[in-house]
Structure 1
Amino acid sequence: MKKLKVIELFAGVGGFRLGLEDTDNFEVVWSNQFEPSTKMQHASKVYEARFGSNNHRNQDISEVPTEEILDADILVGGFPCQDYSVATTLHNSKGLIGKKGVLWWSI
């Protein structure tokens, strides 16, 4: 059986990838992880240490030229939830106007 090709956005440390590739039916062909509010990109570095840096981008997804993203069958994304999370106070919740709350528009 042919593996389905997957693009993984907002990849974090690779949770979607671990689950998908564990089934042996999927192959992640391109991934992206970028944390705009931190200087050190820990999650991206963990991702690269685990899966390698080939076809992985540590760049704001809204700035990645579309032609640089490989073709795939499936698109998955672990959207940043900080601006929606119930773990924050209602006063601090930013929703669609938060820095991370708008990232899903990039898909």
Structure 2
Amino acid sequence: MQFVEHQAAGIAYPVVADPQFGWAGWFPVVKFNRAETAASTTAIGVLKVCGKIARGLPVGLAACGISAVQIAIQAVIANSRGECIQLAPAPIGAMAFRYTGGYCR
């Protein structure tokens, strides 16, 4: 858990500073919560969320950029069903899968 002191006006709670990393079988995944999933329902939103996760690293941004439309489509479906998305590496880019429970809140 990370604690961040802040004094900026307009802060929305809870403040989420770190994505959830985990495993789906043999594959490492990055799990989005519901707010991150909702923010990823457009290709531009995907790039904004991925920019935070990749922390500016070109390989992470490239993976999201290549797969932005597929990720956004899965985010739209997940958002409409009260689910979340998780990203796993793909041969080219990243692949989004829907999930529920745990970090999906």
Q: Normalized against structure 1, the TM-score is what?
A: 0.28
Higher alpha-carbon Rg: 1
Q: Normalized against structure 2, the TM-score is what?
A: 0.28
> Which of the two has greater helix per residue?
2
